[in-house]
A and B are shown apart, each in its own frame.
Chain A
Amino acid sequence: MDLVLVQIFNGIQYGFLIFLAASGLTLVFGILGVINLAHGSFYMLGAYLALTLTEVTGDVFLACLLGVPLAVVFGWLIERAFVRHLYKRDHLQQVLLTFALILIFNEVQRILWGSYPHGVPAPSYLSGSIRLTDQLAYPVYRLALTAICAALAGAMFFVIQKTRVGRLIRAGESNREMTELLGFDSSRLYALVFATGTALAALAGMLAAPVESVYPGIGERILIISFVVVVIGGIGSIKGAFLGALAIGIADALGKVFLPSLAGVVVYALMASVLVVRPGGLFGRVIR
């Protein structure tokens, strides 16, 4: 029973992390209309930034504070240099270019950081475990990670539902041309959305660094699971990505307990069953 409880905790924490990664992917797909295969590379970038910046500053949270602005700048540069040329092109060309970016990013990663896995320490003040029941202890860093991700998710919902830029993002998702007719320059909105998505994915990679080791290929793993989340939630839907990510996280964690031989298949089975009932994903094409 305790194992199940621990796995549910792990699943929620993993779900929040992939929500951070997938939210940027779904916004970029839904608003910019770009399939960004390189989105997982931003997660990898975050993980390696956490590695280096934690060595420098001694604290993964300080590393995040420094790393997020770097990721914003990086995302903005990638959008201006490459992605903005894809808005009017078809998906095949988008896939080609962003796949090329993956190869380049992976090579640069190997040159800069090498091929060996690395660990990033959790901050000393969060390094212990907390006793939840007599027999059950849970790492404090994982709880803090879950709380931080939950707060970020809440902040995202607040921005999207209640602020001017959030209204503009929702409007741009449903009818880009109309937002232009009302006086909003979509190239600025697109750069903002892309840079924000990059930063969210990178932040997920930074925060996750102490709970999973940092290794080459970490980005591809998160990319695939993020696409699963986007498909389950419905393209462009933040709410859908949130529910999809939590469902995937918990299904994955419980699958490892109850169906260990099929653990790798559980999330895809979940995706397939959602698509049978709702082919457009949980929240179709429209974000609310």
Chain B
Amino acid sequence: MSLALAPRTQAADASVEPLLAATGLATAHGRVPCLRDVAFTVRPGETIGLLGRNGMGKTTLLRTLTGLLSGGPTASIRFRGKDLAGAKPAAISRAGIALVPEGRGIFPNLTVLENLILPERAGPSGKRDWTLDRIFDLFPRLAERRTNWGDQLSGGEQQMLSIGRALMTNPELLMLDEATEGLAPKVRDEIWRTLRVVAETGMAIVVVDKNLEDLFELADRHFILAKGEIVFEGTTADLTAEPDLVHRWLGV
């Protein structure tokens, strides 16, 4: 189970209809291939760690899944039974996939409150689980800073705001690129704690992060990307049982 050729779908879960099933992703920058026939699945309520060294295609994969990059002619992206291959980012967001991008994407010229209410809407199934009050419960710091401009926030506050803003779209799948990069240890702990709270609500989550310990604690399953290919797919137990793998693909 732990080798690169691990079967894509584990038998025990084969009966569960995946929330997201992407196959044949072959994103390229010009003529340079960045993803090679990548298959990526997320089942409902699952938390996924997306691992790999810098430049191996993690961000490219997330940008392809959100429609910012084209996955090429072979790409198939099905989400909640809907075909999203070739769809625009806006349509994918409205289908229920939210991205907290690297760099956080806070609007500097909107206040904290305005950043949050801008995308406020019911999710694709009509649910409005995440409201402003609930985001302020999750991140009391944001409530204190509600009238501040986006560019007056610390890095940690920006990340809280970016997560809170993504949740305001009431997504079915939350993806975070470099969830805790550049944050102080205390702030990182708070982000991980929050992600556990969000995961417990049944939200499916995909996390890219360099802190393996925290990621192993949070995620059910992991994918490792190397040179644009998925070289490992398996559970946290699979991965921790094979320190060689971690060393080989992640260099730790």
- Name A's B-contacting residues (CB within 8 A): 164, 167-168, 170-171, 173-175, 177-178, 180-186, 286-288
Contact = CB atoms under 8 A, between A and B. Distances in A.
Interface in B97-119: 98-99, 101, 105, 107-110, 114, 117-119
A177 B118 contact: no
Contacts of A173: 109
Contacts of A184: 90, 119
Contacts of A180: 68, 88-90, 93
A286 B108 contact: yes
B82 to A, nearest CB: 15
Contacts of B101: 178, 181
A183 to B, nearest CB: 4
B90 A177 contact: no
Given A167-B118, A186-B90, A181 B105 contact: yes
Contacts, number: 64
A177 B169 CA distance: 16
Given A181-B99, A183-B90, A183-B94, A174 B108 contact: yes
Interface of B: 66, 68, 88-91, 93-94, 98-99, 101, 105, 107-110, 114, 117-119, 121, 149, 165-166, 169
A286 B109 contact: yes
Contacts of A174: 107-110
Given A178-B107, A182-B98, 5 more contacts: A171-B107, A173-B109, A178-B105, A182-B165, A286-B108
B99 to A, nearest CB: 5
A177 B105 contact: yes
Given A167-B118, A170-B110, A180-B93, A185 B88 contact: yes
Contacts of B110: 167, 170-171, 174
Given A180-B89, A181-B68, A287 B105 contact: no
6 contacts: A170-B110, A174-B107, A177-B105, A181-B66, A181-B68, A181-B89
A175 B101 CA distance: 12
B105 A183 contact: no
A238 B202 CA distance: 43
Among B68, B105, B107, B149, residue most surrounded by chain A Cβ atoms (within 10 Å): B107
Contacts of A185: 88, 90-91
A131 to B, nearest CB: 45
A178 B98 CA distance: 11
Nearest to B100: A181
Nearest to A170: B109
A174 B114 CA distance: 14
A162 to B, nearest CB: 10
A190 to B, nearest CB: 12
A170 B99 CA distance: 20
A183 B109 contact: no
Contact of B105 (A175, A186, A286): A175
Among B91, B98, B108, residue most surrounded by chain A Cβ atoms (within 10 Å): B108
